[in-house]
Amino acid sequence: MIVLSETTDKIQVVLGVAVATNECQCVASWRDITTTPRYEAGRSVASTNSTTDVDLIAAPIASTQRMIDYISIYNADTAGVTVTVKYDANGTDYILAKQALATGETLVYTSEAGFFVL
């Protein structure tokens, strides 16, 4: 399970090189847990921006933990790409996964199985 517990934590996606024609399509879902306790579902969608970091999952608000349930990064390009998923902790990057994807492949993360390719 991936947990964002600080207001400076976020998940980012970046590609190794510029795409040939189409950016990768990214989807994520999570649950926020507050101190009350309260559970609130959330999701985000984004497209990669070639070699520029893209925030896929934003930092939680104060007194909240963001539990990451699912991430999907689909290679919609006409060429293979190498995608890197990073945990950005207050500006320090930690690589969670780095994977080459052929056209039409998807890098998936689930809290039960971790990262894998479809």
For the stretch 48-100, pLDDT in tens is 999 999 999 999 999 999 999 999 999 999 999 999 999 999 999 999 999 99
Can you give the residue ranges of every domain in the chain? Answer: 2-117
Dig out the tokens for 33 from the structure: 């847990």
Q: What confidence score (pLDDT) does residue 80 get?
A: 97
103 with 80: CB under 8 angstroms? yes
What's this model's pTM, rounded to 2 decimal places? 0.94
Choose among 39, 76, 45: nearest CA to 58. 45
Q: What confidence score (pLDDT) does residue 36 get?
A: 80
For the stretch 18-61, pLDDT in tens is 999 999 999 999 999 988 878 899 999 999 999 999 999 999 99
Distance CA 51, CA 77 (A): 14
Q: What confidence score (pLDDT) does residue 35 get?
A: 81
Which residue in this structure is represented by tokens 């189409």? 22
Number of neighbouring beta carbons within 10 Å of residue 51 = 11
